[in-house]
């Protein structure tokens, strides 16, 4: 931030933006008295931030106004939240205190502002220089733990923080690159999953697109251009598809609206990456939302009415049964309800149709905030909803003393991003459980004592072990024994945090014994690798590798068998440059306090999780032993590490002559099999492009083939050339790069 006298134009700009906010706030305030409170908050904040500018040069006051507008438009919160959004930076950036806010605006607004101030303080702490990198790592993770604790105080604090993060991301181009990478890593690892879990679809989508725009700029630009071209070419197809649907719904007497939606660049990129397909193979680019007013003349329940709409449109078009998603019968954990189907329209174009009532649409767009509007006293916890259950799970995790802050970040991230499946009790009662859960996880979900005494189970009437992974639709019967007790080996396969906690608590009396056993096992393993002493440097590297906060945490997990140490040979070999590890002596860049670059000589290691090549957008992570590991900016591992210790992010630069080095890449292929295909492939790669191909694998079945080739390239440009040439070979339908 900078101090500079405002001009008349600055004051006019602030007034114009606030006028828009005030009009929007009018619809969320109960009366003129509440609107007057919003006005007082604006006047107070405007005076407090007078002559203060952001990095962009704009008046700082435009930021809290923008945050307040997101709070109203995208989340739908009311007077107190709008007021808190306008005031959210006053305590941090001026001489005013929380008590000043309390005296002027009351306890609730002061509590919200205090929570937001604490969140900002703990996030910014990650930028401060701390001599011990492990202390820095633990501090930043502890800070995120404090942020998540606010979920249990007032969810509105996190909702307003999400609005603040969205506006900061909208203006992120004004940040230096290393700061931008830190913010985007935090956003992808914590804030985007949090927005998803809280049902804030529009905020989640915009944050994802901004992340892609800066993490993979070339992919963002290319996909955006292709989406634009597709819309221009197929716009008439959508109109042709909708005309008979519109007529049929009107004839049936529905009061409705139809919204057109095109898949976002991020969602296209994610689908291409996850499914290893090309843009042309993304068939659900278009989505149509039919939003109608619930009316019992179309069915007794909203679910019945959604199916009535479904029957009307499927009388017109054929649908794909494999892509039918019934979220009205099985509500998502974030409260989302809708009926999804994919239909083939004129010209053979597939359209995804989402069928919702007005209430369902409000919840889909505004998430957890919309639930308040549909409850008598405006409190989310009035019913035992899926969101309330999730908040309870978060509270249990946060209050567990055995969970280190670093471990907690991974637990929360996995919990936020995990998919749920639906299973059934012997009596046919439906239960929701995280995907990947085992039979024993289900037993503990039913009741602690059932889990403790479990010895086996029947799944779909067949006897199975407790470690059996559940699938959606399974019916489970737990078999128990009166003398049954928890077993340490259960920790090897239990997936849910609650179940693991119960088992670990059972063995709490053996904690010292387990720690000592783990210490002995780890020491013996390290001695076998030639490490005679467990010195401070080795401890730092071990805690960094296993992402734990203390050696006792590590010893305990090794002793209980939760942490496996069989990969230590590979880990230490890689860090010391043995076992074929690839290192360069290239210039890298770190940031001074004034954000200026300083060239330094250091060792580089290429991350094997994403295998970047020169020309990719890359990020550097400096580990405790000083090694700079280069990742693609879009690498999930880089986002995870950057979130836990943002101060370790550096901006790497490729060497002056990257062509001297060769990088292995894998290219996946699919298409129609024919005689001579392999010959054409090898000829194109080896002879025409003069590339070194080290492996080829193709499998053919019923006239179709799929497989991959591994080649060495010196740059992204070389890789793009190979992909382009391969796409022109007769019979090849899909050519996609895959990380090794």
Active-site residue set = 92-93
Q: Which residue has the tokens 């709070």?
A: 71
The answer to whether 50 touches 7, Cβ cutoff 8 Å, is: no
Q: What is the C-alpha to C-alpha distance for residues 94 and 90, in angstroms, rounded to an integer?
A: 6
Q: What is the C-alpha to C-alpha distance for residues 438 and 422, in angstroms, rounded to an integer?
A: 13
In the structure encoding, which two tokens stand for residue 435, read together?
Answer: 């995907």
Torsion of CA 611, 612, 614, 616, to 10 degrees: 150
HEC secondary structure over 58-113: CECCHHHHHHHHHHHHHHCCCHHHHHHHHHCCHHHHCCCCHHHHHHHHCHHHHHHH
Angle at 510 between CA 505 and CA 512, to 5 degrees: 115
DSSP code per residue over 294-313: --GGG-SSHHHHHHHHHHHH
Q: Which residue has the tokens 């549909």?
A: 374
Spell out the residues 6+ positions from residue 564 whose beta carbon is closer than 8 angstroms to its own. none
In the structure encoding, which two tokens stand for residue 596, read together?
Answer: 């200026």
At residue 124, what are phi and psi to the nearest 5 degrees? -70, -25
CB count, 10 Å around CB of 501? Answer: 17
In the structure encoding, which two tokens stand for residue 133, read together?
Answer: 């990198």
Angle at 149 between CA 145 and CA 150, to 5 degrees: 125
Which helix (H) or strand (E) covers residue 365, if one does? helix 358-366
At residue 705, what are phi and psi to the nearest 5 degrees? -135, 155
In the structure encoding, which two tokens stand for residue 82, read together?
Answer: 């709008």
Q: What is the C-alpha to C-alpha distance for residues 667 and 663, in angstroms, rounded to an integer?
A: 13
Q: What is the C-alpha to C-alpha distance for residues 243 and 259, in angstroms, rounded to an integer?
A: 13
Which helix (H) or strand (E) covers residue 452, if one does? helix 448-452
Reference 653, options 598, 609, 608; nearest CA is: 598
The answer to whether 323 touches 306, Cβ cutoff 8 Å, is: no
| 602 Rama sector, left if φ>0, alpha if ψ -120 to 50, beta otherwise | beta
Reference 191, options 173, 167, 215; nearest CA is: 167
The answer to whether 372 touches 80, Cβ cutoff 8 Å, is: no
| 199 Rama sector, left if φ>0, alpha if ψ -120 to 50, beta otherwise | left
Reference 116, options 146, 96, 95; nearest CA is: 146
The answer to whether 146 touches 114, Cβ cutoff 8 Å, is: no
Q: Report how far apart the first and last C-alpha atoms of the chain are (Å, whole number).
A: 43
Q: Which residue has the tokens 């597939």?
A: 350
Q: What is the C-alpha to C-alpha distance for residues 116 and 114, in angstroms, rounded to an integer?
A: 5
| 428 Rama sector, left if φ>0, alpha if ψ -120 to 50, beta otherwise | left
């Amino acid at each position: 931030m900078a101090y500079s006298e405002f001009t008349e134009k600055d004051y006019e700009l602030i007034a114009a933006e606030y006028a828009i906010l005030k009009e929007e706030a009018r619809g969320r305030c109960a009366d003129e008295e509440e609107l007057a409170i919003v006005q007082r908050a604006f006047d107070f904040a405007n005076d407090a931030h007078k002559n203060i500018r952001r990095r962009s040069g704009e008046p700082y006051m435009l930021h809290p106004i923008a945050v307040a507008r997101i709070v109203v438009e995208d989340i739908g919160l009311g007077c107190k939240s709008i007021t808190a959004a306008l005031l959210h930076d006053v305590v941090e950036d001026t001489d005013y205190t929380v008590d000043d806010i309390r005296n002027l605006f009351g306890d609730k607004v002061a509590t919200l502002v205090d929570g937001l101030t604490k969140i900002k303080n703990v996030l910014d702490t990650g930028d401060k220089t701390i001599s011990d990198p492990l202390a820095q790592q633990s501090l930043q993770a502890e800070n995120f733990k404090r942020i998540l604790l606010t979920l249990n105080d007032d969810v509105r604090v996190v909702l307003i923080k999400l609005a603040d993060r969205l506006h900061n991301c909208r203006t992120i181009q004004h940040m230096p690159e290393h700061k931008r990478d830190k913010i985007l890593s935090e956003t992808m690892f914590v804030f985007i999953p949090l927005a998803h879990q809280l049902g804030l679809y529009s905020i989640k989508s915009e944050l994802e697109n901004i992340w892609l725009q800066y993490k993979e700029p070339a992919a963002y630009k290319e996909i955006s251009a292709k989406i634009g071209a597709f819309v221009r070419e197929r716009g008439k197809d959508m109109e042709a598809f909708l005309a008979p649907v519109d007529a049929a719904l009107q004839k049936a007497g529905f009061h409705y609206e139809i919204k057109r939606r095109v898949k976002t660049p991020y969602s296209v990129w994610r689908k291409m990456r996850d499914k290893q397909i090309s843009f042309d193979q993304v068939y659900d680019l278009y989505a149509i939302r039919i939003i109608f007013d619930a009316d019992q003349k179309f069915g007794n329940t909203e679910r019945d009415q959604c199916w009535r709409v479904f029957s009307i449109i499927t009388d017109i078009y054929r649908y794909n049964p494999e892509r039918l998603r019934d979220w009205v019968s099985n509500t998502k954990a974030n409260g989302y309800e809708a009926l999804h189907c994919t239909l083939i329209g004129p010209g053979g174009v597939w359209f995804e149709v989402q069928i919702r009532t007005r209430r369902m649409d409000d919840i889909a767009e505004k998430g957890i905030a919309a639930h308040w509007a549909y409850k008598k006293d405006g409190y989310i916890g009035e019913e035992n909803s899926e969101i309330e259950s999730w908040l309870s799970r978060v509270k249990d995790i946060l209050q567990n003393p055995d969970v280190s802050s670093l471990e907690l970040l991974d637990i929360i991230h996995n919990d936020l991003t995990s998919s749920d499946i639906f299973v059934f009790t012997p009596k046919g009662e439906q239960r929701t459980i995280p995907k990947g859960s085992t039979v024993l996880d289900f037993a503990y979900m039913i009741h602690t004592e059932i889990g403790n005494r479990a010895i086996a189970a029947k799944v779909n009437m067949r006897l199975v072990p407790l470690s059996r992974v559940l699938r959606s639709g399974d019916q489970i019967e737990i078999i128990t024994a009166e003398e049954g007790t928890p077993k340490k080996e259960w920790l090897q396969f239990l997936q849910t945090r609650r179940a693991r906690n119960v088992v670990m608590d059972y063995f709490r009396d053996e904690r010292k014994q387990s720690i000592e056993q783990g210490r002995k096992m780890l020491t013996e393993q390290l001695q076998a690798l030639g490490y005679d002493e467990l010195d401070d440097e080795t401890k730092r590297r071990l805690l960094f590798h296993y992402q734990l906060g203390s050696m006792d945490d590590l010893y305990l997990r090794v002793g209980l068998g939760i942490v496996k140490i069989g990969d230590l040979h590979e880990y230490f070999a890689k860090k010391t440059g043995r076992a074929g590890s690839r290192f360069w002596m290239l210039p890298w860049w770190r940031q001074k306090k004034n954000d200026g670059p300083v060239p330094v000589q250091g060792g580089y290691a290429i991350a094997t999780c994403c295998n970047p090549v020169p020309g990719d957008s890359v990020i550097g992570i400096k580990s405790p032993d000083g090694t700079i590991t280069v990742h693609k900016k879009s690498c999930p591992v880089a986002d995870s590490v950057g979130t836990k210790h943002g101060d370790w992010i550096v901006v790497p630069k490729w060497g002056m002559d990257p062509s001297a080095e060769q990088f292995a890449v894998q290219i996946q292929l699919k298409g129609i099999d024919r005689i001579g295909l392999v010959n054409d492939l090898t000829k194109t790669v080896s002879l025409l492009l003069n590339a070194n191909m080290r492996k080829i694998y193709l499998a053919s079945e019923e006239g179709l083939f799929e497989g991959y080739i591994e080649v060495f390239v010196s740059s992204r440009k070389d890789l793009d050339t190979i992909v382009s040439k391969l796409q022109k070979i007769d019979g090849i339908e899909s050519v996609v790069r895959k990380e090794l």
